[in-house]
Amino acid sequence: MRSRPYRSMLIFLAAAALLMVLSVSAFGQCSMCRASLAGSGNAFFVRNFNIGVLVLLVPPVTIFCSIFVVLKRYRAADDEELNHDDKA
């Protein structure tokens, strides 16, 4: 019975990942940034800018994953407590 929430979460995450991968805007920056970078003609600057965008992505992903891990541990502890109470 526990597999149903995990299965629906997995389907939701797969659909979200598919939408993000197939999105056209996922392959580039905003139009103003893209226009200014295209006009610069400096490939080194463009590469560093793309790395900077990825660096700025790290903190939100870390925060999200941390919250997810804490909630998962809290739920596991709560389930363990309920199982312990049922046995007593």
At 24-70, the pLDDT tens digits run 555 555 667 777 777 777 888 888 888 888 888 899 999 999 998 89
Of residues 61 and 82, the one with the higher pLDDT is 61
Q: What is the pTM (predicted TM-score) of this model?
A: 0.47
Q: Report pLDDT for 14.
A: 84
Task: Please calculate the CA angle 44-49-52 and round it to the nearest 5 degrees.
Answer: 130
Task: Please calculate the CA angle 2-66-12 and round it to the nearest 5 degrees.
Answer: 45
- Domain residue ranges in the chain: 42-88
Task: Please calculate the CA angle 63-8-80 and round it to the nearest 5 degrees.
Answer: 70
